[in-house]
Amino acid sequence: MYQEFFIVSLEKKNLFIVGNFMSDIFITHLNPTSDNTILINRELSEYSFVSYKTYKLKNTEIAWINRKYIDELGLIPSDIEKSLLENFSYVSEGYTTDEELDLTDSKIFLADRYGNPGDAGNGGSARCGLNGHFQVKGNGTNPLGAVNVDEGHSHGKLPLSEAVSEAIWSEICHKELPYGALRIIAIIRTSQTILTTNTFGDVVEQPCALMIREVAIRPAHYEPALNFWPKPEFVRLRDANSKVLELAVNKLENNEYQKTNSHKPIFDVVERFVKRFATQVAVSRVKGFPHGSLTSSNIALDGRFLDLGTMSAIGDFSNVILTAGLGATWDDHLGIADWLWNFFYYLNKYSVHPLTQDEQEQLVKHFLETLEEQENITTATECGIPPDTKEINKVGKIIKEHLRTGKHHVSRLSKCSFNRDLFLADVKNALEKVGHTNSRPNFKYRNIKYNRFSIFSDNRLQGLCGSRNDLEDMFEEYLS
């Protein structure tokens, strides 16, 4: 029987609950279906998911729990820790030895299919599984793992340090950005370790983690994984691309029509998305912590960021590249505009109400204009100028251009200046130029403390990492 939906209003978004009681929220199921798991046959068809078997992993423990998130749900963190361990400590075959698994306790998880524009890539969430209301990241390889990707994208595991960094940035984004990020509910530490290359290029042994997070629809869910080469036993997955996309686009179109009765539902969905996306990019740029890897699979249709492994603070308005091949801080919109056209192409291929050429051009223009406007406004407000100031867009643009002077060349994060006194002196000069000498700038995150290198060099993330208390102290230091 189809279960009733409940909507729990949170501060910046809605969490859609399947089931009748809030106590059900952290339960996973033997077999996820549309009756007990979000997205299935609502936002996406069942063909957008690939099932895989997992087994109970022994000797897991909570490394960190998002108390703020749990509080917002009206629950008590200590009451749900056991439930989190019981319901999400499941990994796929090959994650570890049989001795470390309870082979009598198994559950099905679902990997969601989405596209990748690169020369090689997985077929979607290759190390993430959905069951119930949440997704677990790092629970081993699944059928969407490709044979033509590097080791770091094929082992299916998640180093604990990466999970901690992503959770820190997720909460910062939730607090500071207009549309936040997919929030992390908890991190589970396993007894397994992995040899991995860290941020500094060193091969280190790290504990593995299972990261429980929210789930979202991405533009990439409507794009094919053209260069996905699965293992031989899963080669059938390459043949189903067309059907997966057709059904996904139909769901998107029909859902929008049912909600708004719009005669151009795809245009309305994309217009809303590009406005949110542009605003999100602008604010993160100006506040000083850009995403660094904004492909169509790293942004949600509702504007939230996800997969924050490339995010880092930047000390000033320099044009810093965080991910090779994806553009730098102040010009990655060029790459985004390119993949928007790709996104439009596949929507049109399967849509009943396709976008016209004029509408596509209008949407890209809207993205770029919103980006520029929101950069200017956010620059002004971060400088302490009231948001209701007359001609705030113009004032912010003058300040932004002053702070960007001499910084248009592409540079690396390792070469980025974090001289905060020098940066704030430059801000002061810009404020004098626009006649706002009494304003008090913020720019909290333009601080070396939030530099990716600083986070990963923290003693609590070295080697086998610190204790739960150590990690909770680290979260407190970064999120206070």
pLDDT at 152: 65
Quick one: pLDDT at residue 6?
31
| pLDDT (average), residues 186-202 | 91
User: Rounded CA gap, 407 and 353, in Å?
Assistant: 44
The answer to whether 367 and 281 have CB atoms below 8 angstroms apart is no
Q: How far apart are CA 448 and CA 414, in angstroms?
A: 11
Residue 390's pLDDT band (cuts 50, 70, 90): very high
- Cβ proximity of 378 and 295 under 8 Å: no
| pLDDT (0 to 100) of residue 13 | 39
pLDDT tens per residue, range 22-65 = 557 999 999 999 999 999 999 999 999 999 999 999 999 999 99
Average pLDDT, the chain: 93
Angle, alpha carbons 75-81-83 (nearest 5°): 90
**Residue 309 · residue 243 · CB < 8 Å:** no
Query: Under 8 Å CB-to-CB from 295, ≥6 apart: which residues?
Result: 116, 117, 220, 326, 339
Sign of the alpha-carbon dihedral angle for 345, 351, 352, 358: negative
Give me the mean pLDDT over the 174-184 stretch: 99
What are 282-296's pLDDT values in tens digits? 999 999 999 999 999
pLDDT band at 384 (very low <50, low <70, confident <90, very high): very high
Query: Is the pLDDT confidence value at 9 over 90?
Result: no
DSSP string, 8-49: EE-SSSEEEEESS-GGGTT---SS--TTTSSSBTTTB-GGGE
Q: What is the pLDDT of residue 61?
A: 98
Rounded Cα distance, 309 and 88, in Å = 22
pLDDT at 14 over 60: no
pLDDT at residue 5 is higher than 70: no
* SS3 sequence of 127-165: CEEEECCEEEECCCCCCCCECCCCHHHCCCCEEHHHHHH
pLDDT tens across 341-362, in order? 999 999 999 999 999 999 999 9
Q: Does residue 7 surpass a pLDDT of 60?
A: no
Q: How confident is the model at residue 317 (pLDDT cuts 50, 70, 90)?
A: very high
pLDDT in tens, 128-143: 999 999 999 999 999 9
Q: Are strands 319-321 and 203-213 parallel, antiparallel or unpaired?
A: unpaired
pLDDT higher than threshold 60 for residue 11: no
pLDDT in tens, 211-235: 999 999 999 999 999 989 999 999 9
Residue 148 has pLDDT above 50, yes or no: yes
| DSSP category for residue 296 | T
pLDDT by residue (tens digit) across 412-427?
999 999 999 999 999 9
For residue 467, the tally of other CB atoms under 10 A from its CB is: 11
Beta strand pairing call for 158-159 and 101-112: unpaired
For 7, list phi and psi in degrees, rounded to 5.
Answer: -115, 125
Q: What is the pLDDT of residue 361?
A: 99
Distance CA 77, CA 289 (A): 29
- Residue 445 is predicted with a pLDDT of 98
Question: Using CA atoms, how far apart are residues 329 and 321, in angstroms rounded to an integer?
Answer: 6
d(CA 253, CA 398): 41
Q: Please state, for a pLDDT cut of 70, what percent of the chain lies above it.
A: 94
Contacts of 20 (CB under 8 A, 6+ apart): 3, 4, 6
The DSSP call for residue 438 is T
Amino acid 137: pLDDT: 98
pLDDT at 411: 93
Digit-coded pLDDT (tens) for 241-293: 889 999 999 999 999 999 999 999 999 999 999 999 999 999 999 999 999 99
- Most confident residue range from 73-82, 166-175, 188-197: 166-175
State the pLDDT confidence band at 117, using cuts at 50, 70 and 90: low
pLDDT of residue 350: 97
pLDDT at 2 over 80: no
User: For residues 249 and 430, what is the distance between their CA atoms, to the nearest angstrom?
Assistant: 47
- Flag whether pLDDT at 435 surpasses 60: yes
Q: What is the pLDDT of residues 360-373, one digit of tens each?
A: 999 999 999 999 99
| pLDDT for 17 | 52
- Measured CA to CA, the distance from residue 363 to residue 341 in angstroms comes to 10
Question: Which stretch of DSSP H or E encloses residue 197?
Answer: strand 184-197
